[in-house]
Structure 1
Amino acid sequence: MTDMSVIHLTDEARTILGAAFEGDPACKDAIVLPGRWDESEGLIDLFITGVPSGRATHSRGAWMPRREDVVELVRRVINSRSRHWDHARPRPLPMPRDWWRAVRDEFDFIDNIPECASGWADLLIGMSGWLQEQYDGAWKTSQIKEKFGGLRIYHDCGDDRSEEVISVAEWLSEFICEDCGAPGRLLTRGGWCRTVCDGHAADGGFE
């Protein structure tokens, strides 16, 4: 892992959290610093401080995630992203067309093919790894798809804490590009909504 890769991935975490906590005065002093690179585990131990516990405040709607859950999931997303990173560029390596196969093979509760682009693969991996650590009940997803520009996960898990983590992943998807996994924003063109980075916004005619 090159220093430039660490800086780039840390900047991505900083940008995603900055957008997620925009308008939340309690997070105005949030700090994101580079973590530690491990040859087998990728970029870990991102140092994130200045984010108090409790529900975030935002104008997007009534339900808001716990700030500490957002921080934890962003850490996991960036860690997953770092494990398929092209250090010469720096940018993620191209995803295979069947990127979803690796997700289904690792997490047996992912019981369907995600109906979304590969940019949300690391979000699904980060969420699923977290769920696997804390919930050992038998449950399955019935559908994972993009809807109204965000990720939607339909499932039969009745565990309140796990449902909260899934909801955080859905909420965070509106700050991560569906096409490439870079920091993104929810945009609308006519009746079509997508969460994309600036580059893919231009490609899709959202500028």
Structure 2
Amino acid sequence: MRSPAENRLAYQVELVRAKRLAAGVTLDENWWKRLKARWPHRLSCEMSCGPGWSDLIEAVNELVDQEGVDPITFSQIKEKYGSLRMYWHGIDPVGRIDALVDAAEEISEGVCETCGNASKMRQSGGPGGYVHSACDDHAIPGSSIIRVKTESIRTPIGRFRATTIEGDE
């Protein structure tokens, strides 16, 4: 069952995708330049993930704009254990940014990092192998579909995610 933040973000992702497609913008290796041009201060970090998650990252930033909690900055945006990770700094007294980032990380597990289509979590190379979120077209050959459980843990020094791989479905 999705949280209210996940529902809100999923809707925003669909709006972003529809606008991008209507404008004729395709996903390519320079996707991050378009986002950095729009939010140069907030997205001054390296973005180490595939173009399939660009609509998701853009939707998060549009919702951050709506929350009006600037200035926040992302210090790192990357793929880890097959899902998106977004680390940020700033003031968020109500926890809305944390909720959006948690939602983005959860949603990313069902979005192909390469093309943005629906995907499954997969592992290549057997236990201990590379975990990735991919559709059938972009899955690493020979990879197995797996179930990944993630838990967001908040401590006085920050927010962490614990990831457990349960094995083949």
What TM bracket, shorter-length normalisation? 0.7 to 0.9
- TM-score, normalised to structure 2, is 0.74
Match of 1:99 among 7, 28, 31: 31
CA RMSD after TM alignment: 2.0
Instruction: Give 1:77 deviation, angstroms.
Output: 0.9
- Aligned partner of 2:57 in structure 1 is 124
Bigger fraction of residues in strand:
2
Q: C-alpha distance in 2, partners of 1:158/1:168?
A: 18
Equivalent positions of 1:1-207 (< 5 A) are: 21=1, 56=2, 66=3, 68-85=4-21, 94-107=26-39, 108-159=41-92, 160-190=95-125, 191-201=129-139, 204-205=140-141, 206=143
SS at match of 1:143: strand
The 8 Å contact of residues 72 and 88 in structure 2, kept in 1 or not, is answered as yes
Identical aligned residues as a percent:
26
Counterpart of 1:81, as a letter, is R
Counterpart of 2:69, as a letter, is D
Counterpart of 2:14, as a letter, is I
SS at match of 1:80: helix
SS at match of 2:47: coil
Q: C-alpha distance in 2, partners of 1:121/1:172?
A: 13
Unaligned runs of 5+ in 1: 1-20, 22-55, 57-65, 87-91
Q: C-alpha distance in 1, partners of 2:66/2:133?
A: 28
Instruction: Give 1:105 deviation, angstroms.
Output: 1.4
Aligned length, in residue pairs: 137
Bigger fraction of residues in helix:
1
Counterpart of 1:162, as a letter, is I
Counterpart of 2:103, as a letter, is V
